[in-house]
Structure 1
């Protein structure tokens, strides 16, 4: 079978390999992948910035396809069904936090950028019937991360003002669509006026270009402050978010692409009783509830561009450049 694997000995750090189809393990199903989607973690693996890297591992966490084989007769009901894959493994028993054994499909274990992948049957769910293969492949990791950050950790309520930072990325686009479906008053920030224009077409109230030094003050004057902010950057931008969140508001961050902040306005945080909340992926319960919410509201993932397996390097380069609006998909 063809697959995109990590190979740090090559110039591009990834390669298209021909691998044997692995044998099924206990309670596993084999999914013939129709489409897979990239996440930033795939590019971070390529750059050597992810822990526990191993050459030869098939990359990719997101995938959708058809169950082509099952480990035993008790799983026959899944044969031939169109499914999406929950890439969160070993979350554990607590809904509050993942276990120490938590992993994500695609590193250190094999992932979805391949013709076939074996997963435990508990990881598969019926593909939303209204989605294309490309849309379905775009949903799992980003959709789950956004749902937990916004609904579980953030506790979004109808009518609240929400700021989603960095609109254009996969998680951010889901957070925007979920917040709109929930009845939030949604705003975005981005470094691209074109991406802000796309957000407005979705129903966002207003966007702010964070390249403008006074964007936070302009946002505060325009909105009066936000009840909830969903962020993936952190770094020194956190003080801008502290400035524009309402007293008693919540800032949920699911990443720190700009690293740790050099400065931190602790006094304003405690005086205004602001809640800073971390969020990572989501539990099995979160995934099931996310999928139900998506089906109920007919939310379609934004697909940026579709590549073939042979064009994987171009797809990775596009993600590295940050050019995408929505998810980058590889059709198998």
Structure 2
């Protein structure tokens, strides 16, 4: 089978497209013939975390395709079923945090940037009928992350105001679509006017430059929930814009990981600061039902072939995308 392989050299230089052995199908697993796969910034990190002395690795966490073969002891799944892959391994029930041993498809085991993948039978779910293969392929990781951030952790509901600094990533474009689906008011920021216009077209109520004075620009707004994924570059501004008693949920950091803030201001303001990452299989199924109920489609920015892997990795590395990036797999 064709697969994008990382080996021997750290970083993007270690990537190549070549023939690789089609995987076996262990007990309790299914073989999926992939139709599409989604890219995440995690895939960039994998090319660094995967060490040069380790065996070759196929990256990729997101995928959708058709069940090709079944291992023993697999019930309720049929060859030919159209499915999406839940990239979270070992987190079945909703809980405060992932259990010990939780892993993500694509490291340490092989991922979705290939023609075939084997995954535990518990990690596939029916593909939402209203989605194309490319839309389904880019859905799982980012949509699951956004769902847990907004609803499990942030308790977002109709009439609340949520702020999404740095709009453009897959997670934040899903967060925008999900928030509007439940009747929330959405404020977004970006350094790119083009991305602000694109966010407005998706339903954003207020758009602000990331570099602007948020307190001045948003003095008539009351922000109930803020989704922080930038880190040190915006964290202080985020703390200053959230209403007293409001909540910040953070799931990532595209700038420095370490932040400082005034603890006295924090406790006098009665603020809530929550972390979030990925989600359980239970939340994954809830997310798919939510997406189907509201007929939500991912914001697809670019779709590449496997042969265009160099352009795809460089594109996501430069954060050019508004929405999701994917591979179509023939």
2:27, 2:73 within 8 Å by CA — same for their partners in 1? no
Give a deviation string over 1:136-174, Cα, whole Å, max 9, x none.
011100000000001000000210011012111000000
- Distance in 1, Cα, partners of 2:174 & 2:78: 28
- Distance in 2, Cα, partners of 1:123 & 1:257: 28
Give a deviation string over 1:94-141, Cα, whole Å, max 9, x none.
611101201000011100000000011111111111111100011100
Matched residue SS, 1:12? helix
Matched residue SS, 1:251? strand
- Distance in 2, Cα, partners of 1:20 & 1:204: 46
Give a deviation string over 1:7-32, Cα, whole Å, max 9, x none.
24287221112111111111111000
- Distance in 1, Cα, partners of 2:313 & 2:220: 37
State the TM-score, normalizing by the size of structure 2.
0.95
Q: How does 1:143-158 map to 2 (within 5 A)?
A: 143-158=143-158
Within the candidate set 308, 320, 326, 1:323 is matched to 320
Q: Give the C-alpha shift of residue 78 in structure 1.
A: 2.2
Q: Residue in 1 aligned with 2:107?
A: 107
- Distance in 1, Cα, partners of 2:217 & 2:270: 20
- Distance in 2, Cα, partners of 1:52 & 1:103: 17
Q: Residue in 2 aligned with 1:9?
A: 9
Q: Give the C-alpha shift of residue 260 in structure 1.
A: 3.0
- Distance in 2, Cα, partners of 1:77 & 1:157: 35
Q: Residue in 2 aligned with 1:288?
A: 285
2:153, 2:249 within 8 Å by CA — same for their partners in 1? yes
Matched residue SS, 1:22? coil
Q: Cα distance 1:185–1:136, how it changes in 2: closer, same or farther (>3 A)?
A: same
2:94, 2:279 within 8 Å by CA — same for their partners in 1? no
- Distance in 2, Cα, partners of 1:330 & 1:315: 8
Q: Give the C-alpha shift of residue 238 in structure 1.
A: 1.1
Q: Residue in 2 aligned with 1:36?
A: 37
Q: Give the C-alpha shift of residue 202 in structure 1.
A: 1.3
Within the candidate set 212, 216, 219, 1:218 is matched to 216
- Distance in 1, Cα, partners of 2:127 & 2:274: 31
1:90 matched to 2:90? The reply is: yes
Q: Give the C-alpha shift of residue 305 in structure 1.
A: 0.6
Q: Which moved more, 1:82-91 or 1:8-17?
A: 8-17
- Distance in 2, Cα, partners of 1:107 & 1:176: 29
Q: Residue in 2 aligned with 1:202?
A: 202
Question: What number of residue pairs does the alignment pair up?
Answer: 327
- Distance in 1, Cα, partners of 2:177 & 2:314: 26
Give a deviation string over 1:195-222, Cα, whole Å, max 9, x none.
110111111111111133x2x2234314
2:88, 2:280 within 8 Å by CA — same for their partners in 1? yes
Q: Residue in 1 aligned with 2:28?
A: 27
Within the candidate set 305, 309, 312, 2:306 is matched to 309
- Distance in 2, Cα, partners of 1:78 & 1:222: 55
Q: Cα distance 1:246–1:315, how it changes in 2: closer, same or farther (>3 A)?
A: same
Matched residue SS, 2:325? strand
Within the candidate set 296, 299, 302, 1:299 is matched to 296
Q: Cα distance 1:93–1:326, how it changes in 2: closer, same or farther (>3 A)?
A: closer
Q: Which moved more, 1:57-66 or 1:263-272?
A: 263-272
Q: Cα distance 1:8–1:173, how it changes in 2: closer, same or farther (>3 A)?
A: farther
5+ long unaligned stretches in structure 2: none
Q: Residue in 1 aligned with 2:79?
A: 79
5+ long unaligned stretches in structure 1: none
- Distance in 2, Cα, partners of 1:104 & 1:93: 16
Question: C-alpha root-mean-square deviation of aligned residues, in Å?
Answer: 1.7
Q: Give the C-alpha shift of residue 236 in structure 1.
A: 4.1
Matched residue SS, 2:219? helix
